[in-house]
Amino acid sequence: MKSLICLAFLTAGALAQTADQADRALTQRGELDEIRWSDPIKGPAFRAGIIRALPDGLEVRRGAMKRVLPYDQIGGVKFGLTMGERQLIAEAKADAIPALRVFWEARHPAIKLAGSTAGDFGLALARALRETKGYAEAQAIAKEIAYEDHDPARRRRALAETETLAFIQVMATAKPEEVEKRAWAITEMAEESNADLMLLVTGFLMQKEFTALKQVEADNPRWMEDDEVKPIRERHYHRALDLALYPSLFHPRRRGESADGLWQAAQIYLHTHDSARVVAVLEDLLALYADSQHTGKAKELLMPLKANLESGKPLTEAKPAEKSKDSEPVGPPPPPKRYHLFED
């Protein structure tokens, strides 16, 4: 029973969102970590609670004793993680920045030590800072991990984070044509392992292509009869669609971006008065991402569109259905359809 109470306490401490609570959690973790001596003669690996990494060694606790182990005596460590610490790292929420910063500062002096999890806390902090536009601090942390962390896989993830942050800075400071040029270069490399960067640039380019599509049509009302303009219009149309559908096709577990992309695809189809495909993509949005921010608008738009399709009315007459107090709730959406956009 005592161990269960202790575990619950430690988990709650790790999930704390204030710096003071996170600092207390560090000292109350228990003997979750394993330390291996650099000299086997000193004995086998032993369990202890690593409180923090100091410039000259690890501050550890065993029972009631607390001491500092010099780094030259440590051959490696294996950090244990509470459920709360794992959740902090996985979610990387903006409101957890104070707690993440405490863990990062308490761990990062040991970043080169085999088995250290300092880089995991640092990368989570960098992602959270990116959400709040703390780009300079996020970039500094990611670069330190990319060049100093002992784990090659973590160094690669940190390098990907620096590339994402670098493009964000380009978006904020460079000329629009330079930003677009860089974005296309990234998509041509198609580095799928850096989902954050790919989703960022494809979302940016989708907006550019959709805007260009509408501008070409506005400048050339008779574009369908113009052999020079029509291919340009078609190129913008297909690019905008491909980019809008990219998240749901290649990163479907990124639910927010995937739902946004499907909603944008619906807007493109609405613009081109393609009723059947508007209905299809909205049904997929509701079936696959029913909890998205677009659910309410999608349901409101879908009902009159389907009714108009059945009656043969043009898309321009479709309007959101008026809500009646006696109207029954909308039932579950149909199963998702398969796209055939790239087979035409």
Q: Where are the domains of the chain?
A: 2-172, 176-343
pTM of the prediction? 0.77
Q: How far, CA to CA in Å, does 157 sit from each of 40, 106, 177? A: 33, 21, 28
> Mean pLDDT for the chain?
86
Please state, in angstroms and as integers, the Cα–Cα distance from residue 338 to each residue in 50, 281, 298, following that order: 52, 10, 19
Token pair for 16: 């704390």
What's the confidence (pLDDT) of residue 313?
66
Q: In this predicted structure, what is the pLDDT of residue 322?
A: 47
Write down the pLDDT at residue 30: 86
The number of residues in the chain equals 344
Of 45-54, 193-202, 246-255, 321-330, which range is least confident? 321-330
Indicate whether 326 pLDDT > 70: no
Q: How far apart are CA 250 and CA 247, in angstroms?
A: 5
Reported for 212-218, long-range contacts at CB under 8 A and 24+ positions apart, including other chains, are 212/236, 213/237, 213/240, 213/268, 213/271, 214/271
First-to-last alpha carbon distance for the chain, in angstroms, is 64
Q: How many CB atoms lie within 10 A of CB 271?
A: 16
